[in-house]
Amino acid sequence: MSHLEAEVDLVNKHGVNCPPPQTPARLLDKLVGDFLEEQCVNPTFICDHPQLMSPLAKWHRSMPGMTERFELFVNKKEVCNAYTELNDPLRQRELFADQASAKDAGDDEAMHIDETFCTALEYGLPPTGGWGMGIDRMTMLLTDTTNIKEVLLFPAMKPDESKKD
């Protein structure tokens, strides 16, 4: 049995919903969401994510297979996502290509290749960090909202109520 098959079996065994594409990253993310994030009522930092879950983060300096990343959860909601940016242009382009393949396979959270960013890396973008904590996440926390699209002011990002699942 492959690792992917074992992960699919584990997700199914615990009744976790993971629609296709069932990649290792998506399966692990769904398991973390159902079992770990649900425990994070008080302010909680989840640190040092696996590389497969953090394709844009720099690899951890002392823990192989992990990244320098953390998320802050409050009341079971992600309030902040932060990481050290990967600044190796060749590796970054490869990871963007993997993301683009996942997006083409139906992963709506995956990204396309950002050539402008890769070019900046080639010119020597210094070590940087990503920090994702905006008014939108705080509004979600204060309004007890579960989907970030429900608090965005941009009409194109709001959920289309006329579409039924």
pLDDT in tens, 134-158: 788 788 888 888 777 788 876 555 5
What pLDDT, on the 0 to 100 scale, is given for residue 125?
Answer: 76
- What confidence score (pLDDT) does residue 67 get? 94
Kindly tell me if the per-residue pLDDT of 165 is higher than 60: no
- The residues near 41 (Cβ < 8 Å, ≥ 6 apart) are 75, 76
Q: Where are the domains of the chain?
A: 3-141
Sorting pLDDT into bands at 50, 70 and 90, what band is 163? Answer: low
Per-residue confidence band for 52, with pLDDT thresholds at 50, 70 and 90: confident
Q: Tally the residues of the chain.
A: 165
Residue pLDDT, tens place only, 75-132: 888 888 999 888 888 998 998 898 888 888 888 778 888 899 889 889 987 777 778 7
Tell me, what's the pLDDT at 136?
A: 82
Helix count (H) and strand count (E) of the chain?
5, 4
CATH topology of domain 3-141: BirA Bifunctional Protein; domain 2 (3.30.930)
Q: Is a pLDDT exceeding 90 seen at residue 60?
A: yes
pLDDT of residue 28 exceeding 60, the answer is: yes
Query: What are the CB-based long-range contacts (under 8 Å, 24+) for 115-120?
Result: 117/92, 118/89, 118/92, 118/93, 119/89
Q: Break the chain down into helix, strand, coil percent, rounded to 5.
A: 40, 15, 40
- Give the least confident one: 24-28, 47-51, 60-64: 24-28
Distance of CA 33 to the CA centre of its chain: 11
pLDDT band (50, 70, 90) for residue 25? confident
pLDDT at position 44:
95
Name the average pLDDT for the chain. 84
